[in-house]
Structure 1
């Protein structure tokens, strides 16, 4: 069974975003919308055409589009990084029952829609850049509007003790498209009771909540 370590798409994504993605408050609303749309277009092209895409050849032939919540700038936040005193490796359960190791690095603390939130930031053993982080989370939309196994965001530290988190860039793991892939599930610290109405929706559901036909 194939294993999604998020490096194929993840490393490319954080590099592109580090080059073209400006910090909160330093860009116009129009520029911000264009930036998110360009990233979504890049994601679409990767899923639709790239040889490393999780889609089967048949899925690619019948592929329509990725479905997202409307872009909401309020879901782009500046978080304070609180490093863990005792950083340690943790095994995250995968969707196929196996385990994959990540380093527990720090917590990201921020306010979102009037809620105080703290999420665990992880680092992959396979990524040599120590400023890159992996955020896997689930929320009240998981299993409804969004994929039940949670969603991911690739992050890059952009301040001494801070990091920008944009939930508009949340994307589905490979296993949301193809069950032959195994993907890490969000740690319990990152299971939110509130809904995150931002980012990618479930691959197999349209905007009305109906299962999309792929044939």
Structure 2
């Protein structure tokens, strides 16, 4: 009986340690984000928030939110003015439509290309994927989140929602951020990526 109790205690202790390790493990994306936000020369945080900043709040990594999407390019799409949070605009075009399944449901999202950004070195093949979902204004930022993608060589592309991040205006109102088009609404909870920021 004593041996059984001892084994249960050891097993319980090991289980607690394993849970703690799962909580403490940072993905490369999370490490990169935290390093950027701690760097005063890059961080979008206000001075008072940066002073006490330790880490962004992330959902635990979930492989269910890593999906393969089919890309249907739209080469004849027109440039349009995507509205921003400061009454400005960002010149964008729909580069293509991404079709995929998430949590057993079929979805489509427009993926965009910025006219100004694609002229900058290193961003020639950059694609912008903003989206809104059912976590907005509860566990995540009310205005939706963004994903960075690159133009693939073929017609498939991986979308990792664990790398979803907030626009800078979620941290500081001085920034002007593209507003997520309503067409890019996902009708489920995307419990992956960066959570809402708690300001001080």
1:122 aligns with 2:112: yes
State how far apart, in whole Å, the 2-side matches of 1:107 and 1:36 are.
31
Check conservation: 1:78, 1:165, Cα contact below 8 A.
Answer: yes
Q: TM-score, normalised by structure 1?
A: 0.75
Are the aligned partners of 2:99 and 2:109 in contact in 1 as well (CA < 8 Å)?
yes
Aligned residue number for residue 171 of structure 1? 165
* CA distance in structure 1 between the aligned counterparts of 2:150 and 2:96, rounded to whole angstroms: 13
Counting matched residue pairs gives 172
Pairwise CA distance, 1:187 = 1.2
* Deviations 1:160-186 (CA, angstroms, capped at 9, x unpaired): 111110000000110001011110011
The answer for the alignment partner of 1:64 in structure 2 is 54
Tell me the equivalent position of 1:186. Answer: 180
Q: How much does 1:124 deviate?
A: 1.4
Give 3-state SS (helix, strand or coil) of 1:127's partner: helix
Q: CA deviation at 1:197?
A: 0.9
Q: Per the alignment, in what secondary structure is the counterpart of residue 76 of structure 2?
A: strand
Alpha-carbon shift at residue 49 of structure 1 (Å): 1.1
Contact 2:168 2:177 in 1 (8 A): yes
Query: Is this contact kept in 1: 2:46–2:171, CA < 8 A?
Result: no
Q: What is the alpha-carbon distance in structure 2 between the residues aligned to residue 152 and residue 106 of structure 1? A: 16
**TM norm structure 2:** 0.80
C-alpha root-mean-square deviation of aligned residues, in Å? 1.7
Higher CA-based Rg: 2
Contact 1:36 1:169 survives alignment (8 Å): no
Shift of 1:159: 4.0
Q: Deviations over 1:70-128 (max 9, x none)?
A: 11001011100011253111211111222211121100000110110100000112224
